[in-house]
Amino acid sequence: MRIHATQSASGVQIELSDDGRGIDPEKILAKARTKGLLRGTERPPLKKIYEFLYMPGFSTAETVTDISGRGVGLDVVKQMVDEIDGTIDIESEVGQGTRFTIVLPTNVSIIDSLVVSSSGQFYVVPIQEVAEVIDLRGYSIENQTSRSKTIALRERAVTICPLESFLGDSKTKSQRFPKIGEQTASASAFSNSPAASAGEEGKKSPTPAMIIEIANKKVGFEFEQVIGQQPILIRKLAGYIAGIPGFSGSTVLATGEPAVILSPKVFARQYFNEREVQ
Amino acid sequence: MEKETKTGLPEESLNKGGKLQEDQDLNRYLLFTLGGEIYGTPLMAVREVCEFQRVKPIPHTVNSFLGVINIRGEIVGVVDLRVRLNYPPKESKIIAMMVFSTEEGALGAVADTLEGVAKINTQDIDPKPRIDSRVPTKYILGVGKHKNNLVTLIDLREVLEREEVVSLRLREKSLAA
């Protein structure tokens, strides 16, 4: 019995092969005939013959013993593979052995993303959710409260909130476990980090904000730094951290570091809802 | 550590190895320490032991949840057993962590130190110990003897299976919404 798995861009291929007695197509045909699935002398191509094996209750084991004919039916395997749009193939040679080839597609979706930092942590934002990224230094602040400020963006007042205010308590926790949560100067991991060039521009480093637009309403989220633009592979969040509003998935950055994918549109909706209540 | 730590399929190795192998596997425990106390958890329930790596904190999670790490492309949460099992927080140099498969995905657990694998026979385990422990009694499998030390045997996978990671405040908030 041999199990061999390979991974390609489109999926995972698992080959299970043995050097047993193989699957005899004659036996399948005979069984199909006694079950009334085939008429008379009809003889479908080999591939079709093997397909009978995926039918519920179709076993070539003549008698059910403690060992034989007891396994999980191939129909169940086929059903599960079908559910995730995979394929299963059988090759067999009587007296030589059998090989099952299962191809499972990896559910990959790759999106263009903006990698940003907030409180020293990297977050990933899908670019399609961001209307634009502006540098707040180029705008005059019309109005400022402790929680937000208002700028004039092309003659429209836009409120800018800190992205941090949606990201809770991560900072305090990493302080509690300095050895574990130890933060290196993480931005330096990216060579094209804008922090490196910030000095040339003069006194202050950029204060970027992403502008999010929902139903013709705009809000901005100020953050620490634009780290870069990167195509990323979206992964689901594990069950135990799923369900945090605005945390839509996770990914592994080019540096190997895991990061949460944020949905700024969810934060924007939260912001507009809260404002309506007030 | 021997071969059984490598296999990710405990059931399978049990079936193949037969009765004797089964007994040996079930008697093996992965030993770790917390605040100077020695604990053991059934080895067969441990998916793997991996090198400690920098944890990426996740906002809106409870204090015992340190964050996530990347294990061969898989994003795995990490729980601080000190906080989870009611020990006062303390800095310690962590070298390795245990990884368990739970129903909601893989979860790592960080103790003060990992000591290795020990065989503790059933006759050396007191299943109903009268001990004061920080660990809730329902997770305690017994107290075993190993090289003149008493080892508190706990079902760590079970502890992690019940892990509530997202902070209570946020849960309440999203329920109210």
By the CB < 8 Å criterion, does A259 face chain B?
yes
Mean pLDDT of A122-147: 90
B108: left (phi over 0), alpha (psi -120 to 50) or beta: beta
By the CB < 8 Å criterion, does A1 face chain B?
no
- Tell me the per-residue pLDDT of A261-271, one tens digit each, with 9 for 90 and over: 999 999 999 89
pLDDT band at A9 (very low <50, low <70, confident <90, very high): low
Query: Is it the case that residue B6 has pLDDT exceeding 90?
Result: no
pLDDT band at B8 (very low <50, low <70, confident <90, very high): very low
CB pairs under 8 A between A and B: 104
By the CB < 8 Å criterion, does B70 face chain A?
yes
Residues of A in contact with B94 (CB under 8 A): 179-180
The share of chain A scoring above pLDDT 70, in percent, equals 80
Verify whether the Cβ–Cβ distance A239 to B67 is below 8 Å: no
pLDDT band at B154 (very low <50, low <70, confident <90, very high): very high
Q: Is the pTM of this model over 0.80?
A: no
Strands, E, within A139-224: which ranges? 141-144, 149-153, 156-162, 208-214, 217-222
Compute the CA torsion angle B121, B123, B125, B131 (nearest 10 deg): -160
Edge-to-edge strand ranges of the sheet holding B96-102: B48-51, B96-102, B105-110, B74-80, B65-71
Verify whether the Cβ–Cβ distance A173 to B63 is below 8 Å: yes
Mean pLDDT of A65-70: 54
> Of B56, B104, B170, which has the smallest distance from its Cβ to A259's Cβ?
B56
By the CB < 8 Å criterion, does A176 face chain B?
yes
- Tell me the per-residue pLDDT of A227-274, one tens digit each, with 9 for 90 and over: 999 999 888 888 888 888 889 899 999 888 999 999 999 999 989 888
Verify whether the Cβ–Cβ distance B66 to A167 is below 8 Å: no
Confidence (pLDDT) at A234: 86
Q: What is the largest CA-CA distance in chain A?
A: 90
- What ipTM was assigned to the predicted interfaces of this complex? 0.73
By the CB < 8 Å criterion, does B110 face chain A?
yes
Identify the closest residue of chain B to A167 by CA–CA distance. Answer: B59
- Tell me the per-residue pLDDT of B45-97, one tens digit each, with 9 for 90 and over: 999 999 888 899 998 888 889 999 999 888 999 999 988 888 887 777 788 89
* Pair type for strands A132-135 and A208-214: antiparallel
Confidence (pLDDT) at B173: 60
- Tell me the per-residue pLDDT of A190-225, one tens digit each, with 9 for 90 and over: 434 444 444 444 446 889 999 999 888 999 999 999
In b/e form, how buried is each residue of A203-217, taking b as 16+ CB within 10 angstroms?
Answer: eebbbbbbbbebeee
Sketch out chain B's domains with CATH numbers.
3-176 (2.40.50.180)
Identify the closest residue of chain A to B94 by CA–CA distance. Answer: A180
What six digits make up the tokens of A253? 């950055």
Sketch out chain A's domains with CATH numbers.
2-105 (3.30.565.10), 110-277 (no CATH)
- Tell me the per-residue pLDDT of A159-185, one tens digit each, with 9 for 90 and over: 999 999 888 765 455 444 444 334 443
DSSP three-state, residue B38: strand
> Of B55, B60, B170, which has the smallest distance from its Cβ to A181's Cβ?
B55
Residue B69 Cα, gap to closest chain A Cα (Å): 6
Mean pLDDT of A122-132: 94
